[in-house]
A = this chain, B = another copy of it.
Amino acid sequence: MGHRIGDASAPARLAAPDEGIGPDELALATRNHGLPLEALRHDLTPPGLHYVLTHYDIPYVPDDTTWQLTVGGHVRRPLRLDLADLRAYPQVTTRVTLECAGNGRALLTPRPVSQPWLVEAVGTAEWTGVPLRLLLAEAGVEPGAVDVVFTGADHGVERGVEQDYQRSLSVDAATGHEPEVLVAYAMNGAPLPPQHGRPLRLVVPGWYGMAHVKWLRDIAVVDAPFTGFQQAVAYRLRKRPEDPGEPVTRIAPRALLVPPGFPDFMSRTRVVRPGPVRLEGRAWSGRAPVTRAEVSTDGGRTWQEAALEPDGGHRWAWRRWRLTWTATPGEHVLSARATDAEGHTQPLQQPWNRGGFAVNLVQRVPVLCLEEDAPE
């Protein structure tokens, strides 16, 4: 009896048919934020426009210089490193498109009750840091190592489990070269902003956001599979609560449009005038390079090939695409669709999973094209 940690948490649930977004989902939506879609124009997302999802609180770190990262567990030489130590290692900068695993969740029916993203939980930044494989090589991973566990300083409760945020990668993934995992201390050439992990975070190019542990304070090599909450309970693709489920890993392909014309404040409907409208957007996939972007101006009935810009050597970042559309008076629904080198693409009807993860349903952008003589 009495007041236990579990009293803070409600069970996971699905929204009832036609149930609007509730106060708990709204409290998450007003704290966390997506990319305003017009910011897809920027190759690198300006600070403050990149999506942010914080499970608990953003830790308060008034002084970076006292931050310590420990590397231990199943290793020969445990390490304790501060930021100056990390800066002395070889430095790598990688441009990475990062997307929340729950992006698109609020479009599912029934809707899993959690952070209610529509399509906007994405952003692209250049992350600078030390390759994780160098730190693990220096520590000396012992034979029999299975996983590498990353612990952040963010602390909270989730489904009754009090925890520091923890995720793992297999030793192979943690020490791989492509993608090369970074322990990052800079974002777009500046120290990490508090909400992006100040002073240290993991960056796992091509993987959904849950793998990029923020406020990183410990790396532990373990000789048995890691079964922490965020690995074994959350972030799994399941149809029913009792399924073990498949782990959420790499980012599924997705394309988004820079919304054309101008918006209505409340409906967010886009307004254009008749004639040529330059459409542009971005396409990305964490599974394989994007090879194709297509656009539909009739709600997904027919598709046209868009011009895909070269990736500029940034394999793990989104690519820009462009297409000119001749708008005619009336109501239209614009969509874009990405396909990658392994043939993965985006569905028009979304397969459902209980957590609302890895959703990559084709975006629908309602556009109103005015009559020729419509007054200003």
- Chain A residues in the interface with B (C-beta under 8 A): 2-5, 7-10, 19-22, 24-34, 36-39, 41, 46-50, 52, 54-58, 60, 106, 113-114, 116-118, 120-121, 155-158, 162, 193-195, 259, 262-269, 271, 329-331, 368-371, 374-376
A8-B269, A36-B57, A36-B195 known; A27 and B118 CB under 8 Å? yes
B10 touches A266 (CB 8 A): yes
Give, as a whole number of angstroms, the nearest-CB distance from A157 to chain B. 4
When the two chains form the complex, which single residue of B29, B263, B330, B331 contacts A29, counting CB atoms closer than 8 Å?
Answer: B29
Q: How far is the CA of A48 from the CA of B32 in the complex (A)?
A: 11
Q: Which residue of B lies closest to A25 (CB)?
A: B21
Most B Cβ at <10 Å: residue of A38, A41, A46, A57: A57
Most B Cβ at <10 Å: residue of A8, A27, A58, A195: A8
Top-3 shortest CB links A-B: A20-B20, A33-B33, A48-B48
Q: How far is the CA of A267 from the CA of B329 in the complex (A)?
A: 46
A368 touches B7 (CB 8 A): yes
List 20 additional A-B contacts (Cβ < 8 Å) besides A3-B330, A8-B264.
A2-B329, A4-B371, A4-B374, A24-B267, A27-B118, A30-B34, A30-B116, A33-B33, A36-B57, A36-B195, A39-B58, A47-B47, A48-B48, A48-B50, A56-B262, A56-B265, A57-B262, A113-B266, A157-B262, A157-B264
Q: How far is the CA of A329 from the CA of B4 in the complex (A)?
A: 9
A3-B368, A48-B48 known; A266 and B39 CB under 8 Å? no
When the two chains form the complex, which single residue of B5, B39, B262, B370 contacts A374, counting CB atoms closer than 8 Å?
Answer: B5
B195 touches A49 (CB 8 A): yes
Most B Cβ at <10 Å: residue of A10, A33, A34, A49: A33
A20-B22, A30-B116, A116-B30 known; A4 and B370 CB under 8 Å? yes
B158 touches A266 (CB 8 A): yes
When the two chains form the complex, which single residue of B21, B41, B114, B262 contacts A156, counting CB atoms closer than 8 Å?
Answer: B262
Give, as a whole number of angstroms, the nearest-CB distance from A7 to chain B. 6
When the two chains form the complex, which single residue of B106, B162, B194 contacts A376, counting CB atoms closer than 8 Å?
Answer: B162
B47 touches A36 (CB 8 A): no
Q: How far is the CA of A369 from the CA of B8 in the complex (A)?
A: 10
Q: Which residue of B lies closest to A116 (CB)?
A: B26
B269 touches A39 (CB 8 A): no
Give, as a whole number of angstroms, the nearest-CB distance from A172 to chain B. 30
A374 touches B3 (CB 8 A): yes
B56 touches A52 (CB 8 A): no
A9-B266, A48-B48, A158-B265 known; A3 and B331 CB under 8 Å? yes
Q: How far is the CA of A120 from the CA of B369 in the complex (A)?
A: 36
A36 touches B46 (CB 8 A): no
A3 touches B370 (CB 8 A): yes
Chain B residues within an 8 Å CB radius of A271: 5, 8, 157, 162
Q: Which residue of B lies closest to A370 (CB)?
A: B3
Give, as a whole number of angstroms, the nearest-CB distance from A307 to chain B. 20
Q: How far is the CA of A292 from the CA of B324 in the complex (A)?
A: 59
A5-B374, A29-B26, A157-B271 known; A36 and B54 CB under 8 Å? yes
B114 touches A266 (CB 8 A): yes
Chain B residues within an 8 Å CB radius of A9: 264-267
A60 touches B47 (CB 8 A): no
B26 touches A36 (CB 8 A): no
Q: How far is the CA of A267 from the CA of B155 in the complex (A)?
A: 15
